[in-house]
Chain A
Amino acid sequence: MLAWIPLFPLLCFLVNCAWYAFGQAPRGKEKAGALIPGLIASFSIFASFLVSLVLFLKLQGLEPEQRIINQSLYNWFSVANLHVEMAFRLDALSAIFSVFITGVATLIHIYSIGYMSHDATPGKYFAYLNLFCFSMLMLILGASLPILFLGWEGVGLCSYLLIGYWYADTLKASAGKKAFVVNRIGDLGFLLGMFLIFYSFGSLDFEAVRSIVVGTAHGEGTIHGVGQGTITVICTLLFIGCMGKSAQIPLYVWLPDAMAGPTPVSALIHAATMVTSGIYLVSRLNFLYSLSPTAMSIVAITGAVTAFFAATIAIAQTDIKKVLAYSTVSQLGYMFLACGVGAYTAGVFHVITHAFFKALLFLGAGSVIHGMHDEQDILKMGGLKSKMPKTWLTFTVGLLAICGLPPFSGFFSKDEILWQAFSSPSGSVILWLLGAVTAVMTAFYMTRLYSLTFLGTPRFSENRPHTGAKVIPHQSHSFPHDGHGHGQSHESGGVHESPSLMIIPLQVLAVLSFAGGLIGIPHFSWLDHWLETVIPTHHAVSSGTAPAMEWVLMGVSIFGAAVGMIFALKLYSNLDLVSHLKTRFAPIHKLLENKWYVDEIFNFLFIRPIYQLSLALWKGFDVAVIDRLALSLGWMSERTGQTVRVIQTGSLHVYAIMTLLGLIMTVGYLMYGMA
């Protein structure tokens, strides 16, 4: 039954492929309905959701020690003592991941039906989306590293396909390529880490490695003959993979560009699910990471710095999706900060709440973009509160959740992370400070986005013909608009509220964003208890620091968030002041707006040298040596052929004489030559 969770999306992927190939593609660019492929896709992921839920409840009925469901389909491959089964395993961690992933994915699929209704090839879109869900569920449910890696690569592929979905636009196509290439760099680290695990422990199955590690962890410095150093190297290599997939410094550059894809894709893949797979991997291998303080601090520091760094960039972005993208990078940094200080449960908790509120924010942004006819520049919005009241209401819930005001879900998870960063044995005041400052900045830039989009007076003219022209000439990397073609009927209408097919998922997500935090209230955490079998609770957490400190820090973070929000609200209700400040602090603003010039630095450091080297190799080696060698071989065989072809006279008699001569020679050799 377990295997059905990933199999449903796979089957419907095939169905949608067939639908697209035989039903839609032959008709060319003719508009095709999104409803049927959308319903097929939504049905499949909803079925997965139901199965996940049933199995989740089944797990809950079992004793905590027995909360594991295994299913092995067949032997994938066996080489020497490496045996890889196509096996799935559901335990507390993967159960909770599969439930929230399939749940959020179902909502986003339904939303997509509305969002993609004007698209030319919705069949293709939904096929990709199904393939993504299949890969993501493989990643979550795989019982061993190779199966996880299969899903890991699968989601990378689907991410590439969906970022470059409107591939006719070169910018979007190259954004897809960028994501793929950057992810490959991380994947190399993942592969090396996987090889090293097999080399050290002789197995790739999580449970097997875990029992080896846990069974001998109390030994003297080495585990199963594996030194501390090796474990640090394994963890660091695997974390490089996570950097790529989960967009951490320095491999985060692909995620903001990934916003070129359709907005539901940004919500599903680049906010709620795929980018959190790095946190899943670290939590899954927590028994390894816990053994290596060095690797843990690498994770924690990378996470904290990424959180801070991305938040600074988000302050100065003007593309609604870019702000959300940098906010995602920043929140992912939070999750790694939690994992790095040993609070894996807090990280997983934030993954879940983040999935709810970030999916909500992205879908809300999608609704705004849809209603504004593909306008993504927040400087050209404003006053949408009255035009799109339902979107506004749900977006407000998302805003309060991400800013971390109680009792919204983001508050609990973010506060838990900050508290752990401060109090856990591997945490420190600096990590806490980075996290807290980031929280204030998060509140500021999200409120800025909210204020510019929904509050104030409209900065666009009604019934304007949509041109897609850019207002800010120096923002070179933004994608002017989402690019999905609207039907003619919409062109004449003004800004409108989205159809209910898009609003209902928003409302469901808003409820979840509001209430999702209840599963992890500190000290009464259901989640801590649930994950205990996979992630042993840190008993050392509360030692040394007074409980009162926790209340103080909580107060500080609420106060900081409130200050950030109020400051942003005040500031952005007076746009003249904002532009005055912009010119006053022009260098800083420019630096942030251009994302610290990271893309340019990477371009200078890596891309240009590689490009030059490739150019030199092409001209100097490929053309000059390889091509010449290959061509001269061809020339030689041609000359030989030209010379020898005169033998083929075409005359029957010559052939007969040749045969006769050959016969005579053979017989002569047999009779006389042998002697």
Chain B
Amino acid sequence: MSPVEPWVVLAFSSAIFFIGLYGVMVRRNIIVILMSIELMLNAVNLTFILFSRQLNDLSGQMSVFFIITVAAAESAVGLGLVIAMFRTLRSVDTDEIQLLKG
């Protein structure tokens, strides 16, 4: 089994990243937006691991561990906010939550 070419991995991860970005930009459901952020984070993780391997430098993988941890915390907080929001506003649609509109 031949090793995967680096450009393939890069292309794959950037595809995932832009899918996530698209999700954040376009979707109105806040849960989907959170999921899209996760996608972007993991695309970055993949890139980190690729370069870590290519450059023989373990600090890239270290970063990935940190990102995973922080991402877990972030999604916990985000979901908590979503629940609180849903309780008060009965909606998870970002168009409905524009209380700070100037």
A residues contacting B by CB (< 8 A) are 645-653, 656-657, 660
Contact = CB atoms under 8 A, between A and B. Distances in A.
B94 A646 contact: no
Contacts of B33: 652
Given A650-B97, A657-B25, 16 more contacts: A645-B102, A646-B102, A648-B102, A649-B101, A649-B102, A650-B99, A651-B98, A651-B101, A652-B94, A652-B97, A653-B24, A653-B25, A653-B26, A653-B94, A660-B21, A660-B25
A648 B25 contact: no
Interface of B: 21, 24-26, 30, 33, 94-95, 97-102
A650 B98 contact: yes
The secondary-structure label for the interface of chain B is loop
A650 B24 contact: no
Contact of B98 (A645, A647, A649, A657): A649
A657 B24 CA distance: 9
Contacts of B99: 650
A660 B97 CA distance: 21
B102 A647 contact: yes
Nearest to B26: A653
Nearest to A651: B98
B101 A648 contact: yes
B25 A656 contact: yes
Contacts of A657: 25
Nearest to A646: B102
16 contacts: A645-B102, A646-B102, A649-B98, A649-B102, A650-B97, A650-B98, A650-B101, A651-B95, A651-B98, A652-B30, A652-B97, A653-B25, A653-B26, A653-B94, A656-B24, A657-B25
B93 to A, nearest CB: 10
A656 B102 CA distance: 17
A234 B56 CA distance: 88
A571 to B, nearest CB: 88
Nearest to B27: A653
Contacts of A651: 94-95, 98, 101
A646 B100 CA distance: 11
A647 B95 CA distance: 16
A638 to B, nearest CB: 14
Contact of B100 (A648, A653, A656): A648
B4 to A, nearest CB: 28
Contacts of B97: 650, 652
A645 B102 CA distance: 5
A84 B92 CA distance: 68
B56 to A, nearest CB: 25
B38 to A, nearest CB: 15
B99 to A, nearest CB: 7
A567 B21 CA distance: 112
Contacts of B95: 651
Nearest to B21: A660
A650 B25 contact: no
A646 B30 CA distance: 24
Nearest to B30: A652
Closest 9 CB pairs of A and B: A650-B101, A648-B102, A650-B98, A645-B102, A652-B94, A650-B100, A656-B24, A653-B25, A649-B101
A52 to B, nearest CB: 69
Contacts of A653: 24-26, 94
B29 to A, nearest CB: 11
B82 to A, nearest CB: 12
Nearest to A657: B25
A662 to B, nearest CB: 15
B20 to A, nearest CB: 12
A650 B94 CA distance: 9
Contacts of A652: 30, 33, 94, 97
Which of B21, B24, B30, B99 has most A Cβ within 10 Å? B24
